[in-house]
Amino acid sequence: MTAKKENIIAEKSFKFALSIISLFNQLTKEENEFVLSKQLIRSGTSIGANIQEATAAQSKKDFIHKMSIASKEARETKYWLRLINESNVTKIDVSSYLIEIEHIINIITKIIITSNKSS
């Protein structure tokens, strides 16, 4: 029996979503931070949800579409993280989140490019 191949991006996006939930909890404890953290948790947890949907796609076109939505959510997450990082709303260091989201964006982009080439 062959072991099931690990879906690296699905696992990576799930772990990232867990870390975003933790960051959200930290941010909401601060009085002046609410709007950005709500936007961040929506987009940051949506990445993995869209990747999960892509794994059950009905066609290659559907897969690419769902992965493209995950890519858009990842880029939005990067935007919110940059705003948090470069504004004075918090002293929490989000640089590790910015590095991780960049990795996720790069992986999703490569998946989409490869999928488009094999269509």
Q: Confirm whether 2 is domain-assigned.
A: no
According to the model, what pLDDT value does residue 1 have?
38
In a domain, 70, yes or no: yes
Helix (H) or strand (E) run with residue 97 in it? helix 95-117
Per-residue pLDDT tens digits for 47-90: 999 999 999 999 999 999 999 999 999 999 999 999 999 998 88
Convert the pLDDT of each residue in 7-27 to its tens digit.
999 999 999 999 999 999 999
- The pLDDT of residue 56 is 93
Domain residues for the domain of 71 are 8-117
Tell which wins on pLDDT, 29 or 19: 19
pLDDT of residue 6: 60
Answer yes or no: is 1 within a domain: no
- What pLDDT is recorded for position 34? 74
In a domain, 99, yes or no: yes
Asked, for residue 37, whether it belongs to a domain, the answer is: yes
CATH assignment at residue 12: 1.20.1440.60
Question: Can you tell me the distance from the alpha carbon of 114 to that of 42, in angstroms, rounded to the nearest whole number?
Answer: 28
Q: Residue 26 domain-assigned? A: yes
Does residue 32 register a pLDDT over 80? no
The total number of structural domains in the chain stands at 1
pLDDT-derived band at 4 (thresholds 50, 70, 90) equals very low
Q: Are 84 and 90 in contact (CB under 8 A)?
A: yes
